[in-house]
Amino acid sequence: MAAAAQSPAPAVATAKESSQLKEIPVVIMSSENVPNRISRCLEEGAEDFLLKPVRPSDVSRLCSRIR
């Protein structure tokens, strides 16, 4: 039996609290379309949440926003 996937939100929060990491944009990529998980990651400071399979247009949009 596979282990349940853990939310990346705690890792995002930790990165955003770090003086060395807080300025680095965090983007989450996942195949799990779970609205509360997506919301939590964004609330913790992730720049975006991309659902797999990632489309080229998603990457283009993200790159233009982060620059």
Does residue 5 have a pLDDT over 90?
no
- Kindly indicate the confidence band of residue 1, based on its pLDDT and cuts at 50, 70 and 90: very low
Domain boundaries along the sequence of the chain:
27-67
Task: Give the model confidence (pLDDT) of 15-53 as tens digits.
Answer: 999 999 999 999 999 999 999 999 999 999 999 999 999
Q: Is the pTM of this model over 0.85?
A: no
* Dist. CA 52–CA 38, nearest whole Å: 13
Cβ neighbours for 41, distance < 8 A, ≥ 6 positions apart:
7, 8, 9, 12, 28, 49
Q: What is the pLDDT of residue 55?
A: 96
* Best CA proximity match to 11, nearest among 41, 47, 35: 41
Does residue 3 have a pLDDT over 60?
no
Q: What is the pLDDT of residue 6?
A: 80
